Structure formats: C-alpha cells, structure tokens
Amino acid sequence: MKKRIFSGIQPSGNLHLGNYLGAIKNWVKLQDEYESIFCVVDMHAITVPQDPAELRRRTIEVAKVYLASGIDPKKSTLFIQSQISEHAELCWILNTIAKIPELEKMTQFKDKTQKNGKESSAVGLFDYPVLMAADIILYDTELVPVGKDQKQHVELTRTLAERFNKKFGETFVIPKAYTTETSENIMGLDDPSKKMSKSAKSEYNYIALSDDEETVRRKIKKAVTDSGSEIVYSDEKPALKNLINIYSLLSEISPKEIEKKYVSKGYSNFKNDLADVVINFLTPLQQKIADLTDEKVLQILEAGAKKVRPIAKKKLEEVKKKIGFII
C-alpha cells in the first residue's frame, strides 16, 4: 500500500513562484511514489474577504495550474474542498479540543492580523489552522508537502490528532510535514525579510505564474538587491540570495555554479539572465493553462470529489461514533 500525501492551495490571489517552488514542484515528483490528494482550499480562501465571481474563477485557475504543472489526474486526486462537507464538520469537532493560546501562537495569524488589525479579522482566520488540520487527518494522510511557512500548522495538526487519539482512542494517523530545499521560503522581491505572498500590497512583491514577459522583466529589474556588485550566495545578502534561489530552482543550476558563472559580471547581467530563466519556465506553463478548458477541469475536480467523498465520510462517521454522536 502506498503512503498517502495531501496538500492544498488557496484560490485567494495570484499564484506565484513561491507557491510553485515551495509546494507544487514537489507534488509533481511525489505523485509517482505516493497516493496523492491535492485540494483547492476555497474554504480557507474565504477567511479573508473574496469577490464571489473571482473566487469561482480562481478556484478553477488553481486546478489548471496543478494540471499544467504536471499533476496527472490519472495518478493524483484533485478536488475542491467545499464540495466535501466533512472538512467543515471535522473542523468543528477539532475546534472543541484545540486551545485558544495554541491558535494565538500561529505566525500566519499574527502576521495577517497585524496587517489588517484584529477588529477587521474574521473568526475564520483565527480558526484557519484547525480547518487545515481537518483537511489533513480526514484522509489518514502521512505526509504533507508544503512550503516551510506551513510547518507550524502541520505541527498543530499533529498535536490535535494526538490529543484526539489520546482522548477517544486511536483514530487518526499522525501526519508529518514534507519539505525539501525547494520548500524554503521564496521571499518578496521588494523585501527579502518577508515571504513572497499572494496578498502582498505591491505587485513588485511577487512574480505571478500568469505574468507576461514584459511584467517579469520589469519586476526583476525593480527587485531590491543588496549593496555591492558581486554575485554571492550568502545570508548577508538576503535579497540576492533569494534571486539566486529562484534562478537555481528553476534552472537546476546550483547556487555555487551560479556564483561562478557571474564572477565580475554584475547585477544587471545576472538579472537579465534570471528574467530569461523565469520566462522560459512561465511561457510553456501558461500555454498549458490556456489549453485547458473550464469544462475539462471541472470534470476532473468532480471525479476527484467522487473519489474522496467515501473516505471522508467513513472517517467522519468513526469520529462521530467515538465522541458519542448518534449516527
């Protein structure tokens, strides 16, 4: 029996290179080795305000990105989170064993509430990690391939699964986060101290997977760099390090080799080539996305929901029995 992996992306903004390099790139490799379930987590997306028509469009768009990146529906199961109501039900049950300070500690919650203020933050945003835990343990997931920024949420998932098992008897598999060097945080192009983010205020923070050639060149040209002119891969030059990481992950050339290639060549040479590397990656991806029709993608998502529904139903019934619900 193959081990199961589960992961998801929110249809909450423009997918960017961080999402691809941090998550999707790994999924494509893992789907050969693991039984793979990939979700479009629309219920997570609505923890911040979304325009309904945009949400619908983006939900399909995220699934298109999965497929165009090489997620093969013959090997992996793709579905939309909100189509399986067991996620919300299990979330509610887990809410009764999750503790308020555990959620208050979550970095993502702290960052997001700092940005928008607690007064305008929804309770759903606070509860986000519990829904994520439900997503994962509903399917007896063993590995969760995510970017480094999500490791804390997977740790909480483990805590909640262990707590439930202890209280009500063995029910859930305890999952582990799966990260590789490609899951390192890809940082903002405008500020290397913050991760590249869909919800960034400035479009100069990220390179969207949908950016055209001109936009990519403009954004890379504007990307902040550190003082000096040497191309060196070092923690002392976080902006440059981030750009080298992107170059390296998209071209499979190691940072050391990149350093060598650009000895005494300066930033502008390096940036021009980086733009080429990014464009060479994005152009075929965008073509594949354009070739996918909404109908085809919705069919794949529906087939996926049909496949996971019985798994979710069975696990939730087990949970309900254990906690004393009459089913």
The binding track of 54-73 with respect to ligand TYM, each residue x by CB under 6 A or -, is --------------------
Catalytically active residues are 112, 195, 198
Residue 78 phi, psi (nearest 5)? -115, 135
Question: Is 146 a residue that touches ligand TYM (CB under 6 A)?
Answer: yes
Question: Is 135 a residue that touches ligand TYM (CB under 6 A)?
Answer: yes
DSSP string, 27-72: HHHHTTTSEEEEEE-HHHHTTS---HHHHHHHHHHHHHHHHHHT--
Residue 229 phi, psi (nearest 5)? -130, -5
Stretch that binds ligand TYM, among 146-154, 269-277, 278-286, 289-297 (CB under 6 A): 146-154
Stretch that binds ligand TYM, among 52-60, 141-149, 219-227, 266-274 (CB under 6 A): 141-149
3-class DSSP state of 320? helix
Q: Is residue 322 a contact partner of residue 169, using CB atoms and an 8 Å limit?
A: yes
Question: Is 10 a residue that touches ligand TYM (CB under 6 A)?
Answer: yes
Q: Tokens for 193, please give them.
A: 């101290």
Stretch that binds ligand TYM, among 148-156, 260-268, 306-314, 318-326 (CB under 6 A): 148-156
Question: Is 199 a residue that touches ligand TYM (CB under 6 A)?
Answer: no
Site size toward ligand TYM, by CB under 6 A: 24
Q: Tokens for 98, please give them.
A: 């999750």
Closest CA to 255 of 263, 247, 264: 247
Q: Which of 30, 60, 98, 132 binds ligand TYM (CB under 6 A)?
A: 132
Q: Is residue 270 a contact partner of residue 231, using CB atoms and an 8 Å limit?
A: yes
The site for ligand TYM (CB under 6 A) is made up of 6-10, 18-19, 22-23, 41, 44, 132, 135-136, 144, 146-147, 149-150, 153, 185-186, 195-196
